[in-house]
Amino acid sequence: MPPPSSSRVCASCDLAKKNGDNKLKECFSCSRQYHLRACLNASESRAAVVEDRPDWACPDCVLCELCRKAGKDNSMLLCDGCDRGYHSYCMSDSTSIDDPRWLCPLCVRSRTARKRKHSESMQSPSKSSLSASPTKRSPLKTVETKTTGTPSPIKKSPSKTVETKAMIERRALNKRLAEQRSPRRSTGSAEEEGPAYELHELALPDDLALFQEAQKRLAADNKREAVMSPKTEKQICWVQIGDKELRAWYPSPYPDALAHSYRVYVCEFCLKCILTPTLLRRHTAKCPWRHPPGNEIYRDGNISFWEVDGKLSKVYCQNLCLLAKLFLDHKTLYFDVEPFLFYIMTETSATGCHMVGYFSKVNWENRHQQFFD
């Protein structure tokens, strides 16, 4: 029989199975595998815990859980419960390296919690045991009164938890919020509908001030938009590009949200059409373009011409055609821009190259290639 592959062989004994132990645990750091029970002498409880640990490290790779450094000489303590490592000098002075069954603080804490939970469950009888034997009663559970002579059960006073001021305020706030959210039937009487709480009773002062400031800004923006964009016409009437405002002459096939707006805003570099000035400010802060996406073929002072291929910069050319349709009634080219070359005239300033005008012509190389394809 051929020997087993090296990937399934214990690094300590070079065997796949030893003394009936065929389970191998892989080291998280060096990927070597070991027999936990046969080679590392791990107990059943320790092996069960280690098998569930994805970050287990072999004795050669184990690090101290406190200082995250490797062991020096024989100063590394291995927990008998979870196989984690600790330096003896990182622990307290009372920790002895010769303890045969030393447990780390994590295992000590978890075992103490389990013992406490077990003792509490043993002290408090279950409901099923009480219902199973209703006739058996302890003589301490009842006392006889001197007046009537009838037994009365002893009531155990419930344990009271100490509540802080913050807990009381939080509970009162949750109660008021629940009353606000719960549906009520409108009967016409203000007394039956319950009390109406103010905002300062439902929110903290800092949150309330921030909310009121946001409300003021929103109201101011809505008022300014209402003045600048009346709802009398359902098409684009004004276009703002940079610091210039242009009167649109004809409709353009923009999406419905833009085509039915009274005023739109266009980025002067990528020509993207935007609905509100707030969105334009956010877009301008992130837009990486400062000139048309093409080759500069002519320059005279601050005037430049850029050659843009519709096949390479399709989105930019489509935005350019949609913008031009607002001023040209006979223009029919909007989306099929790949066979054309666009020549954009720009004026250069400190912020970038601003578009002044453009013209286009057919790129016969792309046209012939598209025809033969």
127 pLDDT higher than 80: no
What is 23-51 written as a DSSP string?
-EEE-TTT--EEETTTTS---HHHHHHHH
Does 278 score more than 80 pLDDT? yes
pLDDT at res. 230: 54
* Tens-place pLDDT, residues 253-276: 998 888 888 899 999 999 999 999
Q: pLDDT-derived band of residue 344, with 50, 70 and 90 as boundaries?
A: very high
Which CB contacts under 8 angstroms, 24+ apart, belong to 227-231?
Answer: 228/262, 228/263, 229/261, 229/262, 229/263, 230/262, 231/262
Average pLDDT over the chain reads 76
Q: How do residues 190-221 score in pLDDT, each as one tens digit? A: 444 445 556 666 777 888 888 888 888 888 87
* Residue 151 token pair: 């037994």
Query: What average pLDDT does this structure show over 60-71?
Result: 78
pLDDT, average across residues 342-349: 95
For position 265, what pLDDT does the model report?
94
Q: Could you tell me what percent of the chain has a pLDDT over 70?
A: 72
Mean pLDDT along residues 287-293: 93
Distance (Å, rounded) from C-alpha 364 to C-alpha 309? 12
The most confident of the ranges 49-53, 91-95, 153-157 is 49-53
User: How far is 280 from 266, CA to CA, in rounded Å?
Assistant: 8
**pLDDT at residue 290 tops 80:** yes
Amino acid at 33: Q
d(CA 317, CA 311): 9
Q: Does 363 score more than 70 pLDDT? A: yes
- pTM of the full predicted structure? 0.40
Q: pLDDT category, 228, cuts 50, 70, 90?
A: low
pLDDT in tens, 89-112: 777 654 555 566 777 888 888 878
Closest to 271 in 3D by CA, of 157, 357, 199, 209: 357
Specify the pLDDT at position 188. Answer: 47
pLDDT of residue 203: 73
- Higher-confidence residue of 164 and 212: namely 212
| Backbone phi, psi, residue 35, to 5° | -80, 120
